[in-house]
Amino acid sequence: MSSVPYKGSSVEDLRAYLNARFQGPLLTYFQRRVKDHALAQDLTQEVLLRVIRAADRHPIENPESFVFRVAVNLLHDQKRRHVRDGEPDFIPIDE
């Protein structure tokens, strides 16, 4: 089991590692579930940001499990927010 290389590494090193290792798989994971490329990109970046913040507080022993647990939780949060707030109303603009 490998851990996220953070102790003694800079935030930039951690960000580079996370982007190289997880950005593609996360983007694919979100695109399959939300069907919106821009939202999938936003969710991917939010996961990576949350993982960086978590690594600052405690060591992450199993990065793959942790990253995708954060992704699943974020997707659940997104769904709850969508159900609570509903679809935004758009008013058509007449030309």
Q: How far apart are CA 48 and CA 63, in angstroms?
A: 11
Block residue for tokens 């679809």: 87
Q: How far apart are CA 80 and CA 67, in angstroms?
A: 20
CB-based contact 13:55 (threshold 8 Å): no
pLDDT in tens, the chain (95 residues): 455 555 556 778 888 888 999 999 999 999 999 889 999 999 999 999 999 999 888 888 888 899 999 999 999 998 888 888 876 555 566 65
pLDDT in tens, 80-90: 888 888 765 55
22: CB partners within 8 A, 6+ apart: 47, 48, 51, 63, 67
Q: How far apart are CA 27 and CA 25, in angstroms?
A: 6
**Token pair in block for residue 48:** 């990576």
Taking each helix axis from N to C terminus, what angle separates 11-34 and 37-57, rounded to the nearest 10 degrees? Answer: 140
